[in-house]
Structure 1
Amino acid sequence: MPSIHGRLVRNGEGTPMGQFVPSGKFGRIFPTLQPLIPPLAALEELGRAMKDANPADPKGDNEDIPAGFTYLGQFIDHDITFDTTSIQEVQVDPLALHNFRTPALDLDCVYGRGPGDQPYLYQLPPNDALFLIGTTSANTPGGDPKVQTSLPFDLPRGPQSLAIIGDPRNDENLIVAQLHLAFLRFHNKVVAGLQNGTITPPPSATQSSLFEQARRLVTWHYQWIVVNDFLRKVVDPHVLDHVLERGRAFYLPKGDAFIPVEFSAAAYRLGHSMVREAYDFNEVFTFKPSPRQVVPATLQLLFNFSGRSGVGVPIPSDWIIDWRRFFRFPNDGVTAGLSRRLDPFLAPTLAEIPDHGVLPGVNLPIANLKRGRSLGLPSAQNVARRMRIEPLSPKDIAKGPDGAVAEKHNLHVETPLWYYILKEAEQRGGAKRLGPVGSRILAEVFVGLLELDASSYLASNPQWKPTLPSAKKGDFAMTDLLSFAGDLSPINDPKNVKP
């Protein structure tokens, strides 16, 4: 829960803003930079130009980042931010926005306030160190009737079919819901390992309860994944190493951490560009040839199979995810699907999100651009210059059909930060990772959140290395977490298939 203490928000040079605000707020890294307030009509035209015209073209895939990292990024976002304010066309003071998540990589989206305060997330005593796990329902009509039903591979749900979890947003699409489930299962496996002696408690928690020992191990391994697996894929690794070794230069809170709007409303919205229009979800729901193939796992279907849609829950057994198709597991004979390139183009379903019960109909690029305007984000060029980074030239920004629209409205000279981050990734990151401005913002904020959290491994034990049995030579990746949790492809497991 947010602290009752306040903090004095400062800018990157350490100059006080002169405003004392409570913890749990958003803030700015560059509060002295002037906001960019383009005409709304210009943003609307630019947003409409950010639709991917060829969403199935493999040339638009990012060979360096498997598809699962798109949704790991969304899961991480839900762990550190929860802004309940609506998108507005008038300016909003970010210091007046409340962040209903703790600005820390502490998995409060999974653990909530723990079994003492939120016992409905956990099993009954004496097993209250374990999470509840939900079960699947009957298979999809026309799907694979041979998959057993009532398998333990859904989120726990109440009588209205809504998930009983620490953050309801993790039940908005099926992939992130299955990822949340993977963390529940991972925690339960760690608890079992502590009980049977195959896992050693962390030194900092040897006198703690079984639940707290497991929570510390799970959280530290997750934090390691964020820095050394997720970040190293989406940012320039040289920038990340520079921040880790030489320290932060711009994100410098004095006191409690906060979430900068330059991060939440711009740089960390990179994931919207990574989303595919359809996924190779498992052998039944895929766009790849398969004896069990029924239909592709379209983005629209993945929204439908969620508690927030009120349609496909509890999930049918044949919709259990095959993680081998989302992350690269060594020597498993299955090719992981890819995310889309980091560029200014979004999948058509995101460019025109229909009203499907989860969100009202909205053009996501336009919504993002308007959000940046309402929060008074500075131009990307001013941010780059403040960071002593040479900005993209107007000529570079004007490239492509999107760039032509930017040039038409003079946005190639003073550019909205979110759009620029994607354009910079395309121009300077080879469309495979973020460029220098985006990389620096992400690296500083994520490292800062860990360094400002006294309970994180980076703050309390910076020499710590992953210790779980699936860790490899002191490293730990998302594939290791999923392997330890087990059941990578349940619908291919003979015990889950009827003869």
Structure 2
Amino acid sequence: MKDPAPLDPKGDNEDVPAGFTYLGQFIDHDITFDTTPIQEVLVDPLALHNFRTPALDLDCVYGRGPGDQPFLYQLPPNDAVFVLGRTNATPGRGDPKVKPSLEFDLPRGPQGLAVIGDPRNDENLIVAQTHLAFMRFHNKVVEGLQKGTIAPPSPIRRSLFEEARQLVIWHYQWIVLNDFLRRLVDEKVLDQVLDEGRSFYVPEGDAFIPVEFSAAAYRLGHSMVRETYDYNEVFTFKDGPRKATPATLALLFRFSGRSGTGVPIPSDWIIDWRRFFQFPGDGVTAGLSRKLDPFLSPTLSEIPDHGVLPGVNLPIANLKRGRSLGLPSGQNVARRMRIKPLSPDDIAKGPDGQVAAKHNLHVETPLWYYILKEAEQRGNSKRLGPVGSRILSEVFVGLLECDASSFLASNPAWKPTLPSTKAGNFTMTDLFRFVGELSPINDAKNLLP
């Protein structure tokens, strides 16, 4: 399952910009948080616990709020605003002309670890900068509410923090449903779930995260990860006067608190969002994610030992986890959903399929691998096939419908109200335009004379 040509642009997915890979990781951390050691799960699959509220409520960012976790926020009377971190006081070695100590890193304690609602969002630099973007998004909404340029979400007045929080969460939920999910699943399946209701994800009590989702279908993001990124003008594989070195996946892990090195990040490692999401008319082409197929970048496939985080063969770990949890085969799930399964010949296609067939896994196939193979065979490697699309659509819609505070449950006719390029819509591009600071290292105010 290791990509034999990870730098070949033929393996890129032109329908999904690279930033959605890490938005997907950020969303995962918002809805799931399993602290159970893998050794315990191997012995007792029922020991699996989810300590994150299974709701799209940004508790990975907000924590328990300024009342319970005041260290995430500024001191009163500005306690509706997040504390932001600063980049390293020492200039970066890639481009020392970028001013040091800029407000573009996660807030950090004396050990260098991020002081945020979910420490996993400090495990690689792109997800860390995504987390920071949502903190800045919230702060910008607070500013708009204070100035009166943004209308409160409800005529019932509440605290400034709660008003900003609702606006941010509802716009985030809209993005998840209409910008993120629609790029990855068959839109006909998603629309059917929205219009006709769910058939398979039907919680009898509280919402939960099904293991078919967490241990298989939603691990589609592993195949989207690139080996190198066009991160900004300094760290890129593209030629240019400021180029220092490509932003490899290994470097993106290094510049994080969880690796134990590279933090606070140097200022020349501030992200250029125009290279991760589409901004028509800005003159910069967004990088792309890799295709949805059974192949993983070499660095992700064999994650090296970072000192703090042990090395692991990710495909083997995913397959073992699925087996330990007793996941059904992909064909069994397809039959249960009354979807025609992939044939043994479909599974056996390609060098990966030949190995699957060698081990007789082309007849009853591990669900995670099946989902990726289905995307390749029935989604043209651009989006998930019918089984993967159904699982993701039902779970995401279900999480929103089971959350009484979500826009879909409490006000399904609601439309985004913040500034956007298209009235009644809101995308990640709109979020970044609203926040501003798309490319701080190209801003003259952030450069030394």
Q: CA deviation at 1:89?
A: 9.2
Partner of 1:377: 327
Partner of 1:486: 436
* 1:402 partnered with 2:352: yes
**What is the alpha-carbon distance in structure 2 between the residues aligned to residue 367 and residue 198 of structure 1?**
49
**What is the alpha-carbon distance in structure 2 between the residues aligned to residue 117 and residue 89 of structure 1?**
31
Q: CA deviation at 1:212?
A: 0.2
Q: CA deviation at 1:309?
A: 1.0
Moved more, 263-272 or 89-98: 89-98
**8 Å contact from structure 2 (residues 87, 266) kept in 1:** yes
Partner of 1:234: 184
Q: CA deviation at 1:201?
A: 0.8
Partner of 2:341: 391
Partner of 1:313: 263
Q: CA deviation at 1:482?
A: 1.1
**8 Å contact from structure 1 (residues 92, 375) kept in 2:** no
**8 Å contact from structure 1 (residues 78, 170) kept in 2:** yes
Q: CA deviation at 1:455?
A: 0.1
Aligned amino acid, residue 340 of structure 1: R
TM-score normalized with structure 1 length: 0.88
Which residue, 70, 73, 77 being the options, matches 1:122? 73
**What is the alpha-carbon distance in structure 1 between the residues aligned to residue 334 and residue 327 of structure 2?**
13
Q: CA deviation at 1:472?
A: 2.2
Task: Return closer, same or farther for 1:90/1:78 CA change in 2, 3 Å cut-off.
Answer: closer
* 1:190 partnered with 2:141: yes
Q: CA deviation at 1:85?
A: 2.0
**What is the alpha-carbon distance in structure 2 between the residues aligned to residue 325 and residue 298 of structure 1?**
15
**What is the alpha-carbon distance in structure 1 between the residues aligned to residue 242 and residue 395 of structure 2?**
44
**What is the alpha-carbon distance in structure 1 between the residues aligned to residue 37 and residue 352 of structure 2?**
26
Aligned amino acid, residue 168 of structure 2: V
Aligned amino acid, residue 150 of structure 1: S
**What is the alpha-carbon distance in structure 1 between the residues aligned to residue 311 and residue 288 of structure 2?**
27
Partner of 1:142: 93
**What is the alpha-carbon distance in structure 2 between the residues aligned to residue 149 and residue 271 of structure 1?**
33
Partner of 2:202: 252
1:290-305 to 2 correspondence within 5 Å? Answer: 290-305=240-255
Structure 2 gap ranges (5+):
none
Q: CA deviation at 1:358?
A: 4.6
In the comparison of the two structures, how many residue pairs are matched? 449
Task: Return closer, same or farther for 1:487/1:141 CA change in 2, 3 Å cut-off.
Answer: closer
Aligned amino acid, residue 126 of structure 1: P
Task: Return closer, same or farther for 1:421/1:459 CA change in 2, 3 Å cut-off.
Answer: same
* 1:111 partnered with 2:62: yes
The RMSD of aligned alpha carbons is 1.2
Partner of 1:175: 126
Which residue, 260, 277, 289 being the options, matches 1:339? 289
Partner of 1:458: 408
Please identify runs of 4+ aligned residues in structure 1 that moved more than 3 A. 88-96, 138-142
**8 Å contact from structure 1 (residues 381, 414) kept in 2:** yes
Q: CA deviation at 1:335?
A: 0.3
Q: Deviations over 1:212-256 (max 9, x none)?
A: 000000000000000000000010111111101111000000121
Q: CA deviation at 1:357?
A: 3.3
Aligned amino acid, residue 396 of structure 1: D
Which residue, 154, 169, 176 being the options, matches 1:219? 169
**What is the alpha-carbon distance in structure 2 between the residues aligned to residue 316 and residue 91 of structure 1?**
40
Q: CA deviation at 1:470?
A: 3.0
Q: Deviations over 1:448-483 (max 9, x none)?
A: 000000000000000000001236210000011111
Q: Deviations over 1:29-63 (max 9, x none)?
A: xxxxxxxxxxxxxxxxxxxxx00111001110001
* Secondary structure of the structure 1 residue equivalent to 2:309: coil
* Secondary structure of the structure 2 residue equivalent to 1:65: strand
* Secondary structure of the structure 2 residue equivalent to 1:308: helix
* 1:201 partnered with 2:152: yes
**8 Å contact from structure 1 (residues 369, 418) kept in 2:** yes
Partner of 1:99: 50
TM-score normalized with structure 2 length: 0.98
**8 Å contact from structure 1 (residues 88, 371) kept in 2:** no
Aligned amino acid, residue 85 of structure 1: T
* Secondary structure of the structure 2 residue equivalent to 1:63: strand
Task: Return closer, same or farther for 1:492/1:241 CA change in 2, 3 Å cut-off.
Answer: same
**What is the alpha-carbon distance in structure 2 between the residues aligned to residue 134 and residue 88 of structure 1?**
35
Q: CA deviation at 1:391?
A: 0.4
Task: Return closer, same or farther for 1:89/1:137 CA change in 2, 3 Å cut-off.
Answer: closer
**8 Å contact from structure 2 (residues 92, 267) kept in 1:** no
Task: Return closer, same or farther for 1:485/1:357 CA change in 2, 3 Å cut-off.
Answer: farther
Q: CA deviation at 1:143?
A: 1.1
* Secondary structure of the structure 2 residue equivalent to 1:115: helix
Task: Return closer, same or farther for 1:211/1:403 CA change in 2, 3 Å cut-off.
Answer: same
**What is the alpha-carbon distance in structure 2 between the residues aligned to residue 138 and residue 120 of structure 1?**
22
Task: Return closer, same or farther for 1:89/1:340 CA change in 2, 3 Å cut-off.
Answer: farther
**What is the alpha-carbon distance in structure 1 between the residues aligned to residue 409 and residue 157 of structure 2?**
20
**What is the alpha-carbon distance in structure 1 between the residues aligned to residue 197 and residue 44 of structure 2?**
29
1:439-458 to 2 correspondence within 5 Å? Answer: 439-458=389-408
Which residue, 264, 273, 282 being the options, matches 2:223? 273
**8 Å contact from structure 1 (residues 139, 318) kept in 2:** no
